[in-house]
Structure 1
Amino acid sequence: MVDTTLEGLSAVGDTTTGFDHPGLLYHDRDDYLGGARAFARAAVAAGGPVLVAVPGSNLAALRDALSDLGDAVHYADMAVAGRNPGRIIPGVLLAFAAAHPGRRVSIIGEPVWPGRTAMEYPACGQHEALINAVFAGRDAAILCPYDAALLDQDRIDDVWRTHPWMIGADGRRPSPWFAGAFAAADRFNRPLPPVPSAAATLPYVVIAELSRVRAFTAGQARSAGLTVDQTEDLIVAVNELAENTIRHTPAGGTVSFWTEPGHLVCQVDDAGHLVNPLAGRIPPAVTSEGGRGLLLVNQLCDLVRIHTRPTGTTIRMHMTLTP
């Protein structure tokens, strides 16, 4: 069991200064609620706001457990706000910090739960690793609970690789397997399954062809059964990626569409190399004229997976099909 007595608060997290990013391995509901309560109560006692961003039933349980802390604690359903892991840093974590300038923010964030699919998971792991780079030097604490009873061992091993500190039955200790944000994130830059042979594809090379790309996207979205709003979102996302291809790579690209159970999948391939692992995670300055393409794609799509290498980049977008 996690020590959540007043004497054991330091085992849950340093809620006083600097950036702290521990992973919490819990085995039952008592572990979960005890660790989260200790973290949140210490943060509120220190005068800081708390965000609880966890999925489904865990969110309901923490609302009840923390109800006495009132409006010092804010809540978000991670299954909704973090459906696409690529939008969690800009849309959840950084947004909460920006809403409380000059104050230490504390966040309970659970982006990985047993229901996450194999396609979603690498984006989750990459997200957890990159938190360390985005929040380095900030006055914040982010506690990440993981269900050690139900998650498979590979995912538990990754918790040790993506968090500088770990909390378990033996208390809090530094992770000997954490090698830094970017090294940890690179483990999740994995090749994607091949495009199905029956996929509909369209190559493009010049700016004048973007209208064909948009029309092709609209037709594929309508045929698959996306809503009008989803179709408009996907058109914008694909246009952003295709325009980036044309502006920044020499050989054009290809857009492909196919359906999988519950999703329309769209993939954009080009010969560019995405060298910045934080692309799409940090909103650019309001005075910047660019840098919003991948950020917008992450906001509009239900899942975004990226595989980049010196010879090319693949960006795969998933849109949920409503029954």
Structure 2
Amino acid sequence: MATVTADLDPFVHPALFYRGTHEYLQATLPFIRGGLTAGEPVAVAVPERNLRLLRTQLGEAASEVHLVDMTKAGRNPGRIIPGVLRAFADRHADRRVRIIGEPIWPGRSVTEYPACVQHEALINLAFPGRAVTILCPYDVEGLDPEIVKDAEMTHPVVIDSAGLRLSDAYAPERVIHDHNRPLPDPRDAATLSFGDSALMHLRDFVAGHASDAGLSGERLEDLRLIASELAANSLDHGGGHGVLRIWAENGQVVMDVSDAGHITDPLAGRRPVDPRQRGSRGLLVTNLLSDLVRVHTGEGGTTVRVYFTI
């Protein structure tokens, strides 16, 4: 199976369609070793099973690779660009870097998937002009065929058992648009409308309902912080008021904030921010701390929904 180099384009984003362990290793190991030989920093962010496999096959060379369990670091797909990909690439901004990123694996839920495919599309907007190669493996035996079709839309280049080819279906902006769908209403949610004077009450409201549902400790404080940040965004950019809802669902605490604002920047909340830079960091904080973030935005308003596993 062919691998990818980046001699012509400063940014390269291929999808790897693999069947079984042999094809996976046949593509990923030369990619990793080629980067190490060329003196390029290499990161591997894949599910734990594949991480163990690559660590074993690399032997001593594994110590030269930045290894990340994507099921933890990338559980929320909105965290991957700022917290995994940009975090690594920015540390080595003076050199080309190689990254294997596997954000979609068998077992991802239907609730998570829209955020996953949007993430893959947004990578193409986050790295233009950067000397970065991001190889994204897809287990075509374990994934739904529709997911594989979507991968052809989010990656300009595809690698499979036949070799390397350009994707005729490549259309990342369409993917971003098509998965910006209204979120289903909860069956039973506690609701709070808020304005300038309600932020302290809002934090207590969230903490009380989340605690009753079983959330505690640091995670409870994270949710309080996110509620405050999203509400502040609504006050600053969403018409000066908003509506917060919170409920329990499938072993998770779910909270969303809706307002009249419209997020026009598709990478909002996915760029690392210099702590010395002034301005809102609410969406970035939300992505970094939540187990999942879903967003629906348009001229009629925006809803940001967060999920915390109990």
| TM score, norm. by length of structure 2 | 0.96
RMSD, matched Cα: 1.3
Amino acid at match of 1:108: I
Q: 2:17 aligns with which of 25, 28, 34?
A: 25
Offset from partner CA, 1:253-288 (integer Å, 9 cap, x none) = 111111111201101111111111100000234442
State how many pairs are aligned. 309
**Alpha-carbon offset, residue 42 of structure 1:** 1.4
Matched, 1:112 2:101: no
Q: Which secondary structure state, in structure 2, belongs to the residue aligned with residue 12 of structure 1?
A: coil
1:178–1:184 contact (8 Å) kept in structure 2: no
Q: Distance in 2 between matches of 1:184 and 1:45?
A: 36
Give how far 1:251 is off: 5.6
**What aligned pairs does 1:240-255 form with structure 2 within 5 A after superposition?**
240-250=229-239, 252-255=241-244
Alpha-carbon contact 1:26-1:147 (below 8 Å) kept:
yes
Q: 1:45 to 1:293 in 2, by over 3 A?
A: same
Aligned to 1:231: 220
Note if contact 1:51-1:75 (Cα within 8 Å) is conserved in structure 2.
Answer: yes
The answer as to 2:209 corresponding to 1:217 is no
| Cα displacement string for residues 285-317 of structure 1 (whole angstroms, at most 9, x for unaligned residues) | 444211311000111111000011110111110
- Paired with 2:184 and 2:239, the residues of 1 have a C-alpha distance of 25
137, 157, 176: which one aligns with 1:185? 176
Question: Structure 2 stretches of 5 or more lacking a match?
Answer: none
Match of 1:162 in 2: 154
Which residue identity does 1:249 align to in structure 2? G
| Pairwise CA distance, 1:175 | 0.4
Q: Which amino acid is the alignment partner of residue 183 of structure 1?
A: R
Q: How far apart are 1:74 and its partner, in Å?
A: 1.3
Evaluate the alpha carbon distance shift between residue 71 and residue 56 of structure 1 in structure 2; reply closer, same or farther with a 3 A threshold: closer
Q: How high is the TM-score relative to the length of structure 1? A: 0.93
Task: Determine the C-alpha separation between the residues in 2 that align with 1:189 and 1:213.
Answer: 27
Work out the CA distance in 1 between the residues paired with 2:138 and 2:24. Answer: 9
Is 1:315 the counterpart of 2:304? The answer is yes
Comparing 165-174 with 280-289, greater Cα deviation is found at 280-289
Query: Equivalents in 2 of 1:19, 1:29: separation in Å?
Result: 27
The equivalences for 1:91-170 within 5 A come to 91-170=83-162
Structure 1 portions without partners, runs of 5+: 4-10
Q: State, as a whole percentage, how many aligned pairs show the same letter.
A: 48
Alignment check: 8 A CA contact 2:239 2:259 kept: no
Partner Cα separation in structure 2 for residue 283 and residue 107 of structure 1: 18
1:201 aligns with 2:177: no
